[in-house]
Every structure is written in structure tokens, then in C-alpha cells.
Structure 1
Amino acid sequence: MSGDPLVSVRNLEKYYPVDTGLFSRTESYVKAVDGVSFDIMPGETFAVVGESGCGKTTLGKTVARLYEATGGTIAFEGQDITDLDGKALRQLRRDIQVVYQDPSSSLNPRRRIGAIVKEPLAVHDVGTKAERDERVAELLRRVDLPVEFRHRYPNALSGGQKQRVAIARALAVEPKFVVLDEPTSALDVSVQAKVISLLDDLQDELDLTYLLISHDLSLVKNVADRIGVMYLGNLMEVTDSRTLFENPVNPYTEQLLSAIPVVESGEQSLKPPSVEVRGETPDPKDPPSGCPFHPRCHRAFDACDAVDPELVEVEDGHQTRCLHDPGPKAEAVAEHRSDDVTQEGVTED
């Protein structure tokens, strides 16, 4: 895709203080998002994947300005929105909407479906009452729900129907950018494909741009244009969907892909993964030094526990965060391997 990005994120940080002791003093921080950068082009689906606790949901909510960033910048249509507040932030809400993971918790059980879908229109003072009612009917039809559902309460709907209502609500004010936070993970497998198909159709019809948050690599393979792989608050690899699955270059991505069950003859294969999946994710309150993934990495060497690599481009549009690939830290790695120079935090034998 050519042209200027719709969303541009640079060195984004979201830190949470860890308070300890009698007087609740802040002694450290959980770096849920730690210096993340990426662009999303108009009409694109950019997916962020990773294990639970990697920071992907925090990233999505920070980009949508539901959370305040600790550092870095977020630009939307070329405008810095990182510190917007008041009327300007309220106006931004029309362009950026969120569909949450669990529709049962994101819909007010005491309000009828029509009132739920209509609420954004009232908040942004869009149209007359009659025009809002007609807009609700249009939105329900657009997400393949009967107009009569406007009179029902959420508990009368299935999980898939509730998520369609949540999508209709997000589309009410005609946004340009939608953050999809695990939009199918709370749904039955039989319903997931229908919701994803609906989102795909709506994207084409309404020229929407998506940031898709997911832990399901099989899902994003079929719907994402590009994918960012996240680990402990860091993007480890970014490339287009096809390249990620056919030619991953980051060890963490290799382990994630290796963990996907292989289906053979209609049954899940029990053969061991081609790359060993090692250990558990470290405590984010006490992350490892150097490369955040090195304690679990099957390709780690001595420098990995001392040198924190940057996300660098290894070929056109393909970025990785690993000392095995060329980049700004390559010289530091060479010095470490030479045994002539002592790296900071590394002691020579």
C-alpha cells in the first residue's frame, strides 16, 4: 500500500507503577508497552499477536486513546493525538472506535439494543431523534440482525448476536479506524468465522482500517495484511502475513508458529513442534536483561543477555528484533564476540 499512513506510532510506551512498602512507594514499573513503533495504512488490517500478558491489548487501548501514553507519540491522519483532551479528544472518538473482546460485558444489560446502538449518536449529537432511529435500523440490517432486535435486551441474544450489536455500535458514528480487541475469542468456533466474515465485508464496504488484537495466529493469517508479533511489551517481528508464515526470521515467531497444531487426515497431529517451545513468559515486573526473549530462545548466545536489540529492517517491509540479524547493534555484538572488549553488564572470562 502506498501513500501516507492513517495511524503512525513512534516509540510508544505505557508503564504501570509497582508500589511496594508501607508508604506505597513506586520502586519499579511494569512496561506493558515499551518503545513500540509501527504504521497502519488506510484500508489495511494490521494485526498484533502474542501470548497472554504480552501487552497487545494495552497497546490497542493506548493507540485508541483510552489509556494515556507514558511516552512516545501517536499520529492520526498526520496529526499528533498523543495529548489531545477535552473537545478535541471527544471529536477524535468519532474517527476511532473499539470493539471489545467480550460482548456480554461491553453491552449494558439494562438497556435495550436500540438504545445501546443509538448512544454514540446521542453523545456526538448526530441527527434528530427520527434520524437516529432510522440509523439504528440501518446499522442492525448492516450487521445482519433483524430490526426488531432493537426492542430486546442483551441477555436475549446469543454471543455472536451480541458481538454484532457491539460492531453496530462502533460503526454508528462512521469511524475511519477500528481497534478490534480479540473480537472472536469469547465466541463459539462456529460463530467466529461469521463475525470475521462480517468484519471483512464491512471493511470493504465502508473503507475501514483495522488494528486487530489477537492471540490466534490461525485467525490473523486469513484476515491480516500485515502482522506484528509482540513479546513483553516489545514488537519482535513485523511483516506481511504471507511472509510471516512462510519465512519468519525471529526466534519467538518461529516458536509461536511451531506451537500451532498441525491437522492431518482430519485430526490434529501429535508430532512434536519443529522448534522447541521453551519455558514460560517471565514476570513483567522483573524482565530479563538484554533481549527480552533470550531466556527462552533456541538461538540465544552470550551477547543476548547483555545487548537489547532494536527493531530493524532486514528486507523491504520485514522487520525483526534479534541480534542474529544486521542492525544498529551489530557492532556491539561483534565486539562482544571478539573477547577484546567488555560489554556493559558482561564480564570476560
Structure 2
Amino acid sequence: MSKTIAVIRGDGIGPEIMDATLRVLDALSVGLEYEFVEAGLVAQEKFGTLLPQSTLDSIARHRIALKSPLTTPVGEGFSSINVELRKRFDLYANVRPAISFPNTRSRFPENVDLVTVRENTEGAYIGEGQAVSEDGATATLTQRITRHGSERIVRYAFDLARRTGRRKVSIVHKANILKSTSGLFLKVAREVAAGYPEIVCNELIVDNCCMQLVMVPEQFDVIVTTNLFGDIISDLCAGLVGGLGLAPGANIGADAAIFEAVHGSAPDIAGKGIANPCALLLGAAQLLDHLNQGDKALLLRTAIRATLEARDRVTPDLGGSGTTSTFADSIISRLFN
């Protein structure tokens, strides 16, 4: 059976890595069809808005989207497109794997295999109640944590561990100082953890967690935390395994899911044909897992690993002289070997 997904080709290097990724997915024969929609600067030029209603309608209709990086103006003006998508579709779970791959610029080329599960819809990161005083001397925002939001993200993390055979969940917080917000999150997390006696659970204050990650990352399996802490920790974890070029992300809710590369649109190399497509390809593997095509997701991840190990036709950021297109060709040649 075929499944249609919304596809956002993105800004900067986005179209290049998306084209490569779709070629690989087609070679896998996973039965996907694509409805191409716009967001970001391309949409701004065409429709006068960064996030057109037609794009929102497509995601709502198909319930799954694959997204390349988008450019959102920094500072004043538009808020984050990603944050807006998460709000619109209640994509409460941000799932970021970090896995060691060979021949990468990593201090940990082996033994790292962890997942950060980040609450995606509340907390300081979404910027509620932002205000600046009239004299410009004071800025404030509101941090809101709810029992509902905490319970469902922690339950998602434990269910993921159970479903994928992972054995440990680390609850990361700052309840020693943020006694109301982090305190509620930790309290609810403990209550949820009690329902999963077969899974080891530990608790870490966020600063200690960061230190432990850069010292002994192999001790971690699944990390669950609040929005702002998860944003920081997930990028730290990407740095452990070679950077954002190898960092996929899934944004999952009850009614929709968006899969993406989490790096930026890299306008400085756009159009040069040298962008590394691995992050989006790994995001596509998460999409296949979500569609219960775990066997095809495994083939894709195995082919990526084999290509990196052989350093065959890979892009310059990985020490090769290949292009985005030749990198995809190399992966395709290994899909069924």
C-alpha cells in the first residue's frame, strides 16, 4: 500500500538534501508518494507568509511530513517556524537519536547510542509571556510546566524504551533550584517511572548530566527532559557523534508527525552540491520506523554506516571529495548488500 506524505524541500541546502533523500527512499521501495509544499523563505516570496495555510492543510491531511531545514529570521519579526508547527499540531515529543558512526569528526566514534526525548510544547523555550520594560532595562518571560505535558512526555520516553529494547531512562531536571517547574516535572516523572519496573531509571540535575555526557556518554540510553534543557542536551549529544550533519529529529504528536534534519539551511554552501544528506536520511529512517517499516529503516541505517565506513563518495565535511548526489548513489548501492 502507498502512503502520501507532505514534503517541505526547504531553504538553502534543503532542496539538495531532500532530492538525495527521496532518491534513496524510492530505491528502498517503501511505497511513499509525495505532496510538495512550501515553507520558509520560499513560501514568503511566493505567498507572503513563512507558513502558508496550504502547507498546514497538507500536513493535517497526510499526518506525516518530511522537512528540510528552513530559514527563520533571527531576533525581531517572525517567530520560529518549527515552534509554530509544534504548536499547531501539538507535536509534544521531540525525539533525537545520537549514534556513533565511523570516519566522522567525533571524539566518540563508537559506543554512543542514545536518544534524547524532549518535551516540545511548553516550558521556557516556547517564549510565553515575553515582555521588555518601557525603558528597555528588564526582560521577562513565563515558564509554564503542566502535569499533563510532563506525564505524556515521560510516558513516551518509557514506552520508547520498552518498544525498542532499551534498558534505562534518565530523568533530567533542575528541581534543586527551579522547585516549582522542574519540581513538578520530576514529581510526575517519578510517578510514571513506577509503572515501568523492568526499566532502570535514574535522575540527574541538568548541569551534571551535561558533564557526564562529555565524560562517559556510553552510560546513557534514553534521556527525557523539558523543552529548553532538551534543546541544549540534544545538540550536545549531536556534538558527541560528529555534529549536526548526523543529527535527525522527529516531532511526534497524537495526530501528526514531522521528521527532519535538525541542522540549519547553510546558505554559504547552497547550490554547490556538497551538502551532507545524512541527517535528513536518518530522519527518513525515523519516519519509516513510525510507519512500521522498521526493516527498511534498518536497511537504510546499515547502508549509511557502510558508506561512512568505506568513505565512498562522501561529502567534504566527512573527509571525502564527493557530492550530495554521489553520496546518495553510494548509499543506494549498499541498500540491499
Confirm or deny a common fold (TM above 0.5). no
Per residue, is there more helix in 1 or in 2?
2
Tell which structure's C-alpha radius of gyration is larger.
Answer: 1
TM-score by length of 2: 0.30
TM-score by length of 1: 0.29
> Which protein has greater RCO, CA pairs closer than 8 Å, 6+ apart?
2
